[in-house]
Amino acid sequence: MDCQKINGCAIRLPSEDDKWLEFGNHCNKERVPFIIYADLKCILRKTESDKEDTTSYAYQRHEAFSIGYYIRCPCDDTISYYFGRDEGCITWFAQQLNDLAHCVKNIVSANVPMETLSKQQWEAYCSAMRCHICEKLFVPDDKRVRDHCLNYRYRSPTHSNCNLNYKNSFYIPIVFHNLSGYDAHFIIKEIATAYDGHDRCTTDNEGKIYFIH
């Protein structure tokens, strides 16, 4: 009421039937299937001045000579590490990301039957009271389905609609150490121009690259 008097605002209060705020983007609860953690190292290369009478010049130049990255998948406890150590390490890394994008595309596009449920899993599925995605109670008219992870292992029963909207992300986030602070000028141009078609790369202010296929 005070705001209405001071600012002339139009107050719209929720109705009695719609007075609760609920989280609805349940697909955002799903972890990304793959994530990459990367970093690069540089050396200082001495340079000579191109003018004899200059009083100041850049006498050192940073050159990337080594880059490495980890691949992590929440469905697999193993961690794979790869690295390149030479003058072409940035080009090598860009090609590695391209190959990885196609590999991930093949994995997420594969139509593989879900593994057979054990007796204990069937009992838990039939006796479950809540959907593990929206966490709401099952009612008699609900159609429940079996939700599975990326490697087609059974997780829990869900509502049919919840299961359809609970999708894996097709983005591969790359957490790059100190990207926005320093390393961006070594790698962004190479990655942004290395791919054809619908492949592209974007970055945010926190130093994360999202390689999009």
105-123 pLDDT, tens digit each: 777 777 778 888 888 888 8
Show Cβ contacts of residue 5 under 8 Å, excluding neighbours closer than 6 positions: none
- Cα 169 to Cα 171: distance, rounded to the nearest angstrom: 5
Tokens encoding 182: 């320093």
- Cα 159 to Cα 138: distance, rounded to the nearest angstrom: 8
State the pLDDT confidence band at 74, using cuts at 50, 70 and 90.
low
pLDDT given for residue 7 in this prediction: 67
pTM above 0.85, yes or no: no
Nearest to residue 208, comparing CAs of 38, 73, 74? 38
Show Cβ contacts of residue 39 under 8 Å, excluding neighbours closer than 6 positions: 67, 68, 69, 176, 177, 178, 183
Is the pLDDT reported for residue 55 higher than 80?
Answer: no
Task: Find the mean pLDDT for residues 77-106.
Answer: 83
pLDDT given for residue 145 in this prediction: 86
* Predicted confidence (pLDDT) per residue in 148-204, tens digit: 877 777 888 888 888 877 776 677 888 888 777 777 777 777 777 776 655 555 555
3-state secondary structure 145-205: EEEECCCCCEEEEEEHHHHHHCCCCCEEEEEECCHHHHHHHHHHHHHHCCCCCCCEEEECC
- Cα 171 to Cα 104: distance, rounded to the nearest angstrom: 10
- Enter the DSSP assignment of 53: T
Tokens encoding 70: 């980890």
- Enter the DSSP assignment of 130: B
Q: How many CB atoms lie within 10 A of CB 59?
A: 10
- Cα 122 to Cα 120: distance, rounded to the nearest angstrom: 5
With H, G, I as helix, E, B as strand and everything else as coil, classify residue 128: coil
- What's the whole-number average pLDDT of the chain? 77
pLDDT given for residue 103 in this prediction: 80
* Predicted confidence (pLDDT) per residue in 15-32, tens digit: 888 888 877 777 777 777
